[in-house]
Amino acid sequence: MSTALVILAAGKGTRMNSELPKVLHPIAQVPMLVHAMRAGAVLEPERTVIVAGHGAEAVRAAALDEDEGATVVLQEEQLGTAHAVDQARAALEGFAGDVVVLYGDTPFLQPDTLERMLAARKTHDLVILGFEAADPARYGRLVMQGDSLERIVEFKDATETERAIRFCNSGLLACNAETLFGLIAAVGNDNASGEYYLTDVVEIARKQGLAVTAVACDEAQTLGVNSRADLAAADAIFQERARAELLDLGVTLMAPDTVYLAADTVIGRDTVIEPNVVFGPGVTVESGATIRAFSHLEGCHVSQGAVVGPYARLRPGAELAENARIGNFVEIKNAEIGEGAKVNHLTYIGDASIGANSNIGAGTITCNYDGVMKHRTTIGANVFIGSNTMLVAPVTLGDGAMTATGTVVTRDVEPDALAVARTKQENKPDRARKLFDMLRAKKARKQKDT
């Protein structure tokens, strides 16, 4: 049976107090909507429909960036969850499979939960996702009779017996497309809010004699994000899970609570991560590397045995070969650092290639930007760059070359050649004493005047 996803992402999220649409607020540096899309992707859906509203163009861009085959439809007026799902009707015209309805602000669904929902669909017309709530007071209760869902009861309408039920409604469901849109067509808005509620389909389905059930999952999977506090809590949950997975995979986290991970961070076993390291999107660290304290990495690749930091920054396009060394207060951007090469301190390397076993001295800068264009620096193997060297790109240094300390390199250096570019030093006898006397006298006059 083919599957389609409908992801509701139209809400403004007033409690977020933000111009950014709620579903685009990030968890582990990825929008919540993308988390929901990735959770649903395990079902290999034939169609994915995103129902957007507030900030629709930004939502559309994020959705298509994740899945260019997705369809984004607009809910111009937010008239309730059933109304939102109904906006996907035209996009799913002719689709005969199952529809799974997800929420763009519910980022933690696990693949096995969705698979169990579809498995339950084989014997039931409508499947609701429920959870055992630690504090169920504000949730609708799922009243079960065996494996049959009899009804959903809101807390304000529940009896004392029903209020004691801890099995609660998440709002997510799975149903055959034709059946689902038929049920939605029967949903009314005769309620205090004047909205069309998706939960009403349960009662309608029961009246039509359809088989309805509920599948249970952990409460954390159904966590919805409605405020900045919720967002922080959700990010903390993600980080805790991601750190635990790394520890299980054989990664050493010296102070786990201080390491921040992105959703796509990949770290090989026997890697050591020291305290206060931040991983941005797009980072892969191979086995046996060491990332020292207070380093920041994004969009980069660190090979086996490499050492980064402390206090280092790897920006997008940084490629470190095996056993490369990047030290303190070093920034690498769009550059390849060869096997065994060392960039140990106080250096900027941007738009460059550094060959194997080369050594880059302290204070070296690749001057890669002329105000309009970026230019590349190429450094061969076994090159020694003296401290405080300025490499004015585009420039190439051949294998085995060397630069003297304080050199400004403006043209290519041949292999095995030494580049020296300094002005002649002159010492002026007694000039320092006279200059200090003059400056002190000037300072005294100013103080007297005030």
pLDDT digits (tens, 9 = 90+) for 25-66: 999 999 999 999 999 999 999 999 999 999 999 999 999 999
| Residue 1 binned pLDDT confidence (cut-offs 50, 70, 90) | confident
Of 301, 314, 306, nearest to 289 (Cα)? Answer: 306
Task: Say if residue 251's pLDDT is above 90.
Answer: yes
Averaged pLDDT score across all residues of the chain: 95
Q: Which of 11-20, 120-129, 150-159, 283-292 has the lowest mean pLDDT?
A: 150-159
Architecture of the domain whose range is 241-419: 3 Solenoid (2.160)
Q: Report the pLDDT value the prediction gives residue 135, as an integer from 0 to 100.
A: 85
3-222 — its CATH code? Answer: 3.90.550.10
Q: Report the pLDDT value the prediction gives residue 213, as an integer from 0 to 100.
A: 97
| Residue 320 binned pLDDT confidence (cut-offs 50, 70, 90) | very high
Q: Report the pLDDT value the prediction gives residue 246, as an integer from 0 to 100.
A: 98
Q: Report the pLDDT value the prediction gives residue 158, as an integer from 0 to 100.
A: 84
Q: Report the pLDDT value the prediction gives residue 449, as an integer from 0 to 100.
A: 84
CB 254 within 8 A of CB 274: yes
345 is catalytic: yes
Q: Report the pLDDT value the prediction gives residue 26, as an integer from 0 to 100.
A: 96
**Mean pLDDT value across residues 228-236:** 95
40-58 CB burial, b ≥16 within 10 A, e <16: beebebbbbbbbbbbbbeb
Segment 390-396 long-range contacts (CB within 8 Å, at least 24 positions apart): 390/364, 390/365, 391/352, 391/364, 391/365, 391/366, 391/367, 392/367, 393/351, 393/352, 393/366, 393/367, 393/368
Q: Report the pLDDT value the prediction gives residue 156, as an integer from 0 to 100.
A: 81
Of 201, 224, 236, nearest to 104 (Cα)? Answer: 224
- The 3-class SS string of the chain reads CCEEEEEEECCCCHHHCCCCCHHHCEECCEEHHHHHHHHHHCCCCCEEEEEEECEHHHHHHHHHHHCCCCEEEECCCCCCHHHHHHCCCHHHCCCCCEEEEEECCCCCCCHHHHHHHHHHHCCCCEEEEEEECCCCCCCCEEEEECCEEEEEECHHHCCHHHHCCCEEEEEEEEEEHHHHHHHHHCCCCCCCCCCCCCCHHHHHHHHCCCCEEEEEECHHHHCCCCCHHHHHHHHHHHHHHHHHHHHHCCCEECCHHHCECCCCCEECCCCEECCCCEECCCCEECCCCEECCCCEECCCEECCCCEECCCCEECCCCEECCCCEEEEEEEEEEEEECCCCEEEEEEEEEEEEECCCCEECCCCEEECECCCCECCEEECCCCEECCCCEEECCEEECCCCEECCCCEECCCECCCCEECCCCCCCCCCCHHHHHHHHHHHHHHHHHHHC
pTM: 0.88
Q: Encode pLDDT of 290-306 as tens digits.
A: 999 999 999 999 999 99
All structural domains of the chain with their residue ranges: 3-222, 241-419
**Mean pLDDT value across residues 404-428:** 94
From the list 35, 296, 345, 375, the catalytic residue is: 345
| Residue 238 binned pLDDT confidence (cut-offs 50, 70, 90) | very high
Task: Say if residue 450's pLDDT is above 80.
Answer: no
Q: Report the pLDDT value the prediction gives residue 431, as an integer from 0 to 100.
A: 93
Q: Report the pLDDT value the prediction gives residue 193, as an integer from 0 to 100.
A: 81
Q: Encode pLDDT of 326-366 as tens digits.
A: 999 999 999 999 999 999 999 999 999 999 999 999 999 99
Q: Encode pLDDT of 424-446 as tens digits.
A: 889 999 999 999 999 999 999 98
| Residue 95 binned pLDDT confidence (cut-offs 50, 70, 90) | very high
| Residue 154 binned pLDDT confidence (cut-offs 50, 70, 90) | confident
